[in-house]
């Protein structure tokens, strides 16, 4: 039995991931942004071991979320939580651009503050190939605002984060996963991929003893390895992103 923490696991792909892991007999801790959502999660995944609460749009709540788990070293953590790109540019209580904070900074902070598990899975998107990482303007303060472009940027950052962690910690299996265009609240009813297919790769990576599931530094979709977009392989860009996240969050990855 593996112990797995899944962020954003009240609905959508995250909930499906948690349900599949519980059905296989694993210990799963859910994550919800508030108490009301936590009750939804418990009802949806009744076999879960518990629910950790924290709004990833808040640095203080993200730090408290990490602390609330009591220093437990999970076998795997699935960084599933994320928001799409739509509407006007919004900032959080930390005066940070919302998409960047939830999609990029939050998984960075949790990686920095929680004991490193044996396996880390970061959800990205095929739209990462359309993203641009400008280390001088990560939050699109100067570039023309586009919610879709900000989302693409954030997913490229997630891919960079997964690869940077894989490079920095050779004893950790770190993988970026594109779940595909999935029929969920974010993906919409016209999406071609069902939730189970969208979650299957994360479940496999989190608990399988298949040697292929234990190879770090890869980018995958639907159990297949994808070619990594060239910017994501740039080590200087990876290190620059880590440094920027450390400065913004005052949290540093462990040595």
Residue 160 has pLDDT above 90, yes or no: yes
Task: List pLDDT tens digits, range 101-115.
Answer: 999 999 999 999 999
Tell me the mean pLDDT in the region 126-155: 97
The question of whether 155 is a catalytic residue gets the answer: yes
Query: φ and ψ at 155, to 5 degrees?
Result: -75, -30
Report yes or no: 193 and 177 within 8 Å, Cβ to Cβ: no
In whole angstroms, give the CA distance from residue 42 to residue 174.
Answer: 28
Residue 195 near residue 184, CB atoms below 8 Å: yes
Strand order in the sheet with 3-6: 50-53, 27-32, 3-6, 76-79, 119-123, 173-177, 218-221, 224-225
pLDDT of residue 190: 84
CA distances from 138 to 58, 154, 191 (A): 18, 9, 29
Of all residues in the chain, the percent with pLDDT exceeding 70 is 100
- Cβ distance 193 to 179 under 8 Å? yes
pLDDT digits (tens, 9 = 90+) for 19-53: 999 999 999 999 999 999 999 999 999 999 999 99
pLDDT above 90: residue 54: yes
Q: Which of the residues 108, 151, 169, 219 is marked catalytic?
A: 151
Q: How far is CA 100 from CA 82, 118, 196, 203, in A?
A: 9, 26, 27, 25
Q: Are strands 3-6 and 76-79 parallel, antiparallel or unpaired?
A: parallel
Number of neighbouring beta carbons within 10 Å of residue 1: 9
What was the pLDDT predicted at 191? 85
Catalytic-role residue among 108, 122, 155, 219: 155
Domain boundaries, the chain: 3-249
Q: Which CATH number, 3.40.50.720, 3.90.420.10, 3.20.10.10, 3.40.640.10, labels domain 3-249?
A: 3.40.50.720
Contact in structure between 224 and 204 (CB atoms under 8 Å): no
Report residue 225 as tokens.
Answer: 């390895």
Q: Let me know the angle formed at the C-alpha of 15 by 19 and 205, rounded to the nearest 5 degrees.
A: 70
What CA–CA distance (Å, rounded) separates 115 from 66? 9
Question: How many Cβ atoms from other residues are within 10 Å of residue 215's Cβ?
Answer: 14
- Look at 208 and 191; give whichever has higher pLDDT: 208
Mean pLDDT of all residues belonging to the chain: 97
The pLDDT, as a whole number, for residue 244 is 98
Q: What is the pLDDT of residue 112?
A: 98
Active site residue 151: yes
Whether residue 97 is predicted with pLDDT greater than 90 in this model: the reply is: yes
> Does the pTM of the predicted model rise above 0.95?
yes
Between the alpha carbon of residue 251 and those of residues 60, 112, 121, 133, 243, the distances in Å are 11, 6, 20, 21, 10
């Amino acid at each position: 039995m593996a112990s797995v923490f899944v962020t954003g696991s009240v609905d959508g792909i995250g909930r499906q991931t948690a349900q599949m892991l519980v059905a296989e007999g694993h210990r799963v801790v859910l994550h919800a942004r508030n108490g009301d959502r936590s009750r939804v999660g418990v009802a949806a995944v009744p076999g879960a071991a518990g629910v950790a609460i924290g709004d990833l749009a808040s640095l203080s709540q993200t730090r408290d979320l990490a602390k609330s788990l009591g220093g437990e070293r999970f076998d795997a953590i699935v960084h599933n939580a994320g928001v799409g790109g739509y509407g006007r540019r919004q900032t959080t209580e930390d005066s940070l651009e919302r998409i960047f904070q939830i999609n990029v900074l939050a998984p960075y902070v949790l990686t920095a503050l929680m004991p490193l598990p044996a396996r880390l899975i970061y959800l990205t998107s095929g739209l990462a190939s359309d993203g641009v990482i400008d280390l001088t303007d990560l939050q699109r303060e100067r570039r023309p605002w586009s919610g879709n472009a900000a989302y693409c940027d954030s997913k490229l950052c997630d891919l960079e984060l997964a690869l940077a962690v894989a490079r920095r910690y050779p004893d950790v299996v770190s993988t970026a996963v594109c779940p595909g265009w999935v029929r969920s609240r974010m993906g919409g009813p016209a999406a071609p991929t069902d939730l189970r297919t969208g979650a299957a790769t994360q479940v496999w990576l989190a608990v399988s003893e298949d040697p292929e599931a234990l190879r770090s530094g890869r980018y995958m979709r639907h159990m297949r390895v994808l070619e990594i977009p060239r910017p994501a392989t740039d080590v200087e860009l990876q290190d620059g992103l880590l440094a920027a996240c450390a400065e913004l969050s005052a949290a540093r990855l462990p040595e």
